[in-house]
Chain A
Amino acid sequence: MANFKVNGEDKTLDIEPDMPLLWALRDELGMTGTKFGCGIAACGACTVHINGVAMRSCVTPVSAIEGQEITTIEGLATAAAGSNPSNPALTAVQQAWIDHQVPQCGYCQSGMIMAVSSLLAQNPNPSDAEIDSSITNVCRCGTYPRVRRAIRSLATA
């Protein structure tokens, strides 16, 4: 049995200990906001927060997160309640993503938003070099200039 919390709810799953968290979320719990991109932690589409820190769920076996707190894109606004007083349904990061019209196809953006949210929680005003070294997610549509613009708008807010 695997036991962990997802977006504040206790989950108990009868699954293999080496099943990656990504597939536990998507196929066992039906939470499809977290995406499969490469399966080897090379693209970041599957990024979630484990105890508040961005991690790549496609290479994280459920045995490694026993009893821990997982936040997915679906639970981000609740987890970061208060970050965006004008619209509690969205975090400030999500709001900035709308304001700067960041997503294109959008497939990588769950992971991108989770990675950026984790960065800004630890470092509210990152330099360009810090953004470059922390945000290594692949976006095939090339939304990087807008990702940077959105981060900048949050950092200087």
Chain B
Amino acid sequence: MKINRRRFLLSSALVGGGVLIGYTATRPSRHRRANTELAGSGESFVTSLIKIEADNTVTIYVPHSEMGQGVHTSLSMMAADELDADWERVNIEQAPAIDLFANGDLVTGFAGELGAPSFLAPLISVSAVKIAELANLQTTGGSSSVRFTGEHSMRYAGAAARDLLVQCAATRWAIPAAECTTALSYVHHNATGRSLSYGELAAEAAMLEPSTEPVLKSRDQYNIMGKAMSRNDIPAKVNGTAPYGIDAQPEDMLYAAIRFAPVFGTKLVSVDAGDVLSRRGIKKIVQLEDSVAVVADSYWRAKEALKSVDAVFEELGNENASSASIYEQFDASLAADDSDEDREIGDTQAAFESAADVIEASYRVPYLAHAAMEPMNCTVHLKDGRADIWTSTQDALGIKSRIASILGIDAENATFHHSYVGGGFGRRLPFNWNVIDHAALIAKEFDVPVKTVLSREDDLQQDYYRPAVASNFKAAFDASGLVRGWHNRFTGPVQTPGAAHIPYAIDNQSIRVVDGTTHVPIAAWRSVDHSQQTFFTESFIDEIAHRAGKNPYQFRLDLLSGHPRHRRVLETAAEAAGYGRNLPEGHALGIAVQESFGSVVAEIAEVSMDENMRPVVHKVTCAIDCGFAVNPDTAASQIESGIIFGLTAAMYGEITIEDGRVAQNNFPDYEMVRMATSPEIDVHILESDNTLGGFGEPATPPIAAAVTNAIYILTGQRVRELPIKNHDFGKPSLAKA
């Protein structure tokens, strides 16, 4: 299968390439370039990510986008801890979008996992040498920042810088380096009571080459990591001063409102702009291959004028596509079973031929939009062969390079202006180029800056969606009631290898993927394939448990003897949620567990049905084995966030296709969990000896099945198609587990 081949290439490249860990941060002479290009008077880069000033201020450069996941703070904590810096005197800077701060450790980190996520795929089919460079990558995604960049770059940068500072102090004092200690941005020689600040040593240290293999601290030596530190981005986010891409206001800026071909993949044929150009503030109508834009001196004027512009788009045959026709296509594809292997274990065919009982179920989930709160936008200023770019992105270097190529200039002649990101969730990853491409093409027509902003309607209708997926299951029981066969066929593509795999000890498994390609563009959406696949697998395992007459919690534990992390999070969540104890009348608990992005998460949803037989989620208890939480409060925030994001999808989320185009327009028909529907969330972070797991995504996958498994107990109805809002639960049933 293609994905396995890709993984093989990447892994062998790493083996052949030797030790790459820490390379990004401590590659020979990287800091020299930083000193030449970025250091001011009295400032010295000791490693490329760490700048120390004569007054002993330490500045840490973070090569990731801050989207509210607290990554600027968490990554700085990792470098500062290894450096033995005084946290009170650490400044945090967004690393500029230049190749010096490419974050290629993301790719090397994913090589150690089952496979790289799809958004990196186009980048990792290159040679081993190129992998070390990855000059155009500064990506934030895959719950990877802390566990890969943090572990493989930031800590190495801190530790290597500390070693150099110690070496310089030891040279000055003419003593062995081993006699020196460090604390709070000072080197000490305790025997003689001498001390030197890092600031006094930095200029000398910057002349030396950092080690690529410094010794890192063990967990018991951490002073900063593991403590709940306040995030540095929050103060600006409570008084309106935090800059987002959409807030860019360079002088003489114009604004573009844009209308896309409503049916994906079609092209603009003709435009009738009427009297629009004579209206106040309207500067130009720009026709692009798949869209038309109005450029004006105000966004509102552009947006209003666009309503009066008639545009004709070609018809290519997708105008008749609908959600119903797409599901029919999926069903036909599943029936034909022209499939690729995802996982085959044992002899599944034999297990079904000898089965005493078989159950079957068909599941579906719809397309979903990302709907980040900050509508998609991009501001570009092209003048005299140079460009300035402002946008909220999950990959600043990639965007810069893309826009430069569209403008026909070298990327070195483009400056990317960083901002905070008003929600990413996968929408702002590389290769989701709409808006970026359009903004560049529109701006190319002017020598003043042009800000292109999508309306919320276009943001929902011109997204790259979480794929709709259909998944069919069969389970075989033997005469003693044991489950012996697991048969699963689902529509692809596989964006995250392994998401459909189950941890349960079932001897015979046949998991295969069939074609699910449609004209609807798709991309990564928070937790990628895990959000759909976990709903499917954790629902069907629940069906199996009920069919076997077993308690769904105990049934899972019995099949997880080889997975202690899964058992531990299940047991912790069950204990905290009061599983097996008395609940309020009419309440039930639903369970789900999934491993993703290096963390194992169990969630238990406490649900009841209201007087209208609509489900109410009262509380979600979550236990996560993440190895170690660098900033525990931020980690808890991310878990709360992931649960609510997944709950919105489970309860309300659907992008439907009618006449080839998206039917939803704005939040009223793409509803969200709000205060009134947000459950209490109880988070339990379990540390372990395992390597660091992610936080941004792993809490999203289990919630849908946790809720629908509870609904089954309450109503006897098995929800096999999301969202839950579309189900009629009728009158209360007596089915109780």
- Residue A17 CB within 8 A of the other chain: no
0/1 interface trace, chain A 42-81, chain B, CB 8 Å (1 if under) = 1101000000000000000000000000001110110000
- Taking a contact as CB atoms under 8 Å apart, the answer to whether A141 and B675 are in contact is no
Contacts of B374 in A (CB 8 A): 35, 105, 107
Nearest CB in chain A to that of B672: its residue: A138
A96 to chain B, nearest CB (A): 9
B706 to chain A, nearest CB (A): 16
- Taking a contact as CB atoms under 8 Å apart, the answer to whether A32 and B247 are in contact is yes
- Taking a contact as CB atoms under 8 Å apart, the answer to whether B300 and A142 are in contact is no
- Taking a contact as CB atoms under 8 Å apart, the answer to whether B676 and A132 are in contact is yes
Known: A37-B456, A42-B666, A43-B373. A20 touches B239 (CB 8 A): no
Nearest CB in chain A to that of B233: its residue: A106
Chain B residues within CB distance 8 Å of chain A: 67-70, 230-231, 233-244, 246-247, 249, 255, 280, 298-300, 371-375, 420-425, 453, 455-456, 633-634, 637, 640-645, 648, 666-668, 672-676, 678, 680-681
CA–CA, A143 to B673, complex, Å? 11
Q: Which of B234, B240, B424, B666 lies in contact with A74, CB distance below 8 A?
A: B240
Q: Which of A28, A94, A101, A107 lies in contact with B231, CB distance below 8 A?
A: A101
Q: Which of A39, A74, A139 lies in contact with B455, CB distance below 8 A?
A: A39
B700 to chain A, nearest CB (A): 10
13 residue pairs from A and B, CB less than 8 Å apart: A23-B299, A32-B243, A38-B666, A38-B667, A90-B238, A101-B634, A105-B374, A105-B420, A105-B422, A108-B373, A131-B675, A135-B674, A147-B675
B634 to chain A, nearest CB (A): 8
- Taking a contact as CB atoms under 8 Å apart, the answer to whether B640 and A28 are in contact is no
- Taking a contact as CB atoms under 8 Å apart, the answer to whether A143 and B299 are in contact is no
Q: Which of B70, B233, B372, B680 lies in contact with A140, CB distance below 8 A?
A: B372
Q: Which of B373, B422, B455, B678 has the most CB of A within 10 A?
A: B373
- Taking a contact as CB atoms under 8 Å apart, the answer to whether A106 and B422 are in contact is yes
Contacts of B423 in A (CB 8 A): 105, 107, 140-141
CA–CA, A143 to B231, complex, Å? 15
Contacts of B640 in A (CB 8 A): 142-143, 145-146
Which 6 pairs from chain A and chain B are nearest by CB?
A33-B240, A142-B644, A104-B68, A107-B422, A106-B237, A105-B68
A157 to chain B, nearest CB (A): 17
CA–CA, A107 to B70, complex, Å? 14
- Taking a contact as CB atoms under 8 Å apart, the answer to whether B666 and A103 are in contact is no
Contacts of A32 in B (CB 8 A): 240, 243, 246-247, 249
CA–CA, A103 to B243, complex, Å? 14
Q: Which of A34, A37, A136, A140 lies in contact with B240, CB distance below 8 A?
A: A34
Chain A residues within CB distance 8 Å of chain B: 16, 19-20, 23, 26-28, 30-40, 42-43, 45, 72-74, 76-77, 89-90, 94, 97-98, 101-110, 113, 131-133, 135-148
Inter-chain pairs besides A26-B299, A27-B299, A101-B234, 4 sampled, C-beta below 8 Å: A35-B374, A36-B375, A107-B372, A138-B672
Q: Which of A33, A39, A104 lies in contact with B239, CB distance below 8 A?
A: A33
- Taking a contact as CB atoms under 8 Å apart, the answer to whether A73 and B675 are in contact is no
- Taking a contact as CB atoms under 8 Å apart, the answer to whether A109 and B238 are in contact is yes
Contacts of B244 in A (CB 8 A): 35, 107
Known: A38-B456, A131-B675, A135-B675. A146 touches B373 (CB 8 A): no
Nearest CB in chain A to that of B246: its residue: A36
- Taking a contact as CB atoms under 8 Å apart, the answer to whether A136 and B674 are in contact is yes
Q: Which of A98, A107, A131 lies in contact with B373, CB distance below 8 A?
A: A107
- Taking a contact as CB atoms under 8 Å apart, the answer to whether B678 and A142 are in contact is yes
CA–CA, A143 to B300, complex, Å? 30
Contacts of B644 in A (CB 8 A): 141-142, 144
Q: Which of A30, A35, A108, A135 has the most CB of B within 10 A?
A: A35
- Taking a contact as CB atoms under 8 Å apart, the answer to whether B422 and A110 are in contact is no
CA–CA, A103 to B298, complex, Å? 29
Q: Which of B233, B242, B678 lies in contact with A144, CB distance below 8 A?
A: B678
B235 to chain A, nearest CB (A): 6
Nearest CB in chain A to that of B683: its residue: A145
- Taking a contact as CB atoms under 8 Å apart, the answer to whether A137 and B674 are in contact is yes
CA–CA, A30 to B250, complex, Å? 10
Contacts of B424 in A (CB 8 A): 105
- Taking a contact as CB atoms under 8 Å apart, the answer to whether B667 and A133 are in contact is no
Nearest CB in chain B to that of A135: its residue: B675
- Taking a contact as CB atoms under 8 Å apart, the answer to whether B667 and A138 are in contact is yes
CA–CA, A106 to B255, complex, Å? 24
CA–CA, A109 to B247, complex, Å? 15
- Taking a contact as CB atoms under 8 Å apart, the answer to whether A104 and B300 are in contact is no
- Taking a contact as CB atoms under 8 Å apart, the answer to whether A144 and B673 are in contact is yes
